[in-house]
Structure 1
């Protein structure tokens, strides 16, 4: 406990701040915008999770999947959900797909590939039928929520039921109430990572990367109440996607019929491999949920293979 609390204090006192400029906005729909990362070639629209910010895809100049992809013959376009406004207050996850993601895809105006990370991958699969979408790639995207241990699913439901009555007054589910749900999926890992951080030289690149990741993980807009309810009750509770009853825009979402790549980690504790439905081609890697994006092996394990697939 002393090691953990000491490392937590060191993190809080760190002076590192993300200083990458925001990329230009080329389209918007409600609070959601589409950012252009340049590059050449066919567009690939990247869909992050509704939870946290988009920074994990563009964390630092050296740890940026999007900047790597832009230099490999692809034009990456990033969906930035931003903080929900009054127009988003009634949107569930499926509502975001139907009323924000699909209209943003319309603005691209040419055939595109769709790439989704975590819950963004789940949403990308739900948008796969869009006429401009050629192919879909998902990265650690949960679909079969029965892949999570039953005790953890029940714990998440209990957490939801405990906080749900207060969410209307709060105007959504803030990150302070979402984070405990993530911690419950891997409580020992949450402590262990701080213990490791406490042993690092604060001036080292590894320590700065830890701070960058934690800043991303601990910040983000509130999740709308309908989106939170759908995540906890319909996904973790009822496993609606795999049971065939997930409706988006009034239509039940079928398995994707377009070419699909699933990037799945054997060591991901937040989205275990058994929670990912093996649509199409599957590529197995060994990296944590965040490490696969920004870790020391991210370039070899994920960035370059994804770039190869997008340019194939």
Structure 2
């Protein structure tokens, strides 16, 4: 098969370099100045933290895993292990490796050593000719073929928007169980300010996105920053005070590099996400269709576990589907997966569920 030019590569490959982060850097600096304008010492501390982050030594990430199946650009990566198969579906917005962040902080590698056989969907970057591929289209043309190619019963586990997509896939294929983590479904659970702000960003970005056939991840990154600007700036103040050689500093760098990377969204996925999911709440109102079926997480014929966070600033608790069993945590959107308490509060309960629940 001929590989088409990669949209993500065409946009700006150099932007993944550390000196360009946080992405988009000019808008981050504008946010920083706005948040610290009345407190020059905070501005100085935050800028020092940004410089320290840009100059920090990067620890090599864990080695790549083999692919056991592919569908178009998407691949299914095998993490090995004994026990039931569990396919992890990450968001389209950031890279998938938050679930395999670093040595000693990898949900997937820990599960592999603790009675589960995890697989990870790697969406890769959009290719030329995919501009119209919607969120549902990603499920139909990429995710479902990967599940079919696995050819063994599996659990489905989705994180963030990947959880929304896993719900759609579970309606089309009956997994052993479905687990959603920090997953939005009732998009009217987001604040009016957040939804209106995203709509405005989309309106401004739409002409450029239409020309590219994709929406750069910087557009959504800007929206995330505006949800909690104080924390966005404050964490760099904190980082500037850390010993660069400390585990905490290395963990910060790994997580920020993940958060500031990611391919663009196809134009179709961006349009469906902003206009239909956020704008019209089609999922929450049971009007979203995948593979010709209307998707209702409460009507799935498999066990469901919805893991939510009461302190999530990115995906608020009110937006969760609350289908099946509900596990409520107190960590943030990302901290629930990679934070210091993640093993006790999420990894271990998840391993227990995947090992014990059989369809």
Residues 1:292 and 2:336 are matched in the alignment: yes
Aligned to 1:262: 306
Q: Distance in 1 between matches of 2:183 and 2:61?
A: 28
1:70-110 per-residue CA deviation (whole Å, 9 max, x = no partner) reads 01111101000011112533211110011111110001112
Aligned to 2:322: 278
Aligned to 1:11: 53
Aligned to 2:30: none
Q: Distance in 2 between matches of 1:202 and 1:157?
A: 39
Larger Rg: 2
Q: Is the 8 A contact 1:40 1:74 kept in 2?
A: yes
Q: Distance in 1 between matches of 2:143 and 2:344?
A: 29
Q: Is the 8 A contact 1:116 1:138 kept in 2?
A: yes
Aligned to 1:33: 75
Q: Write the mapping of 1:1-312 to structure 2, written as runs, cut at 5 A.
A: 1-255=43-297, 256-312=300-356
Unaligned runs of 5+ residues in structure 1 are none
Q: Distance in 2 between matches of 1:205 and 1:263?
A: 27
Q: Is the 8 A contact 1:37 1:67 kept in 2?
A: yes
TM-superposed CA distance for 1:238, in Å, is 0.8
Distance 1:130 1:248, change over 3 A: closer
Q: Distance in 2 between matches of 1:154 and 1:129?
A: 30
Q: Is the 8 A contact 1:39 1:75 kept in 2?
A: yes
Q: Is the 8 A contact 1:18 1:212 kept in 2?
A: no
Aligned length: 312
TM-superposed CA distance for 1:253, in Å, is 1.3
Q: Is the 8 A contact 1:30 1:88 kept in 2?
A: no
Of stretches 12-21 and 75-84 in structure 1, the one that deviates more from structure 2 is 12-21
TM-superposed CA distance for 1:3, in Å, is 1.4
Q: Distance in 1 between matches of 2:171 and 2:216?
A: 32
TM-superposed CA distance for 1:277, in Å, is 1.3
TM-superposed CA distance for 1:254, in Å, is 2.3
TM-superposed CA distance for 1:186, in Å, is 1.6
Q: Distance in 2 between matches of 1:45 and 1:87?
A: 27
1:113-160 per-residue CA deviation (whole Å, 9 max, x = no partner) reads 000000000000111134451210000000011111111111111111
Q: Deviating runs (4+, > 3 A) in structure 1?
A: none
Q: Is the 8 A contact 1:292 1:302 kept in 2?
A: yes
Q: Is the 8 A contact 2:174 2:301 kept in 1?
A: no
Q: Distance in 1 between matches of 2:170 and 2:110?
A: 24
Q: Secondary structure at the match of 2:75?
A: strand
TM-superposed CA distance for 1:19, in Å, is 2.8
1:169-222 per-residue CA deviation (whole Å, 9 max, x = no partner) reads 233111222210111222222111111111211111101100000000000111
Unaligned runs of 5+ residues in structure 2 are 1-42
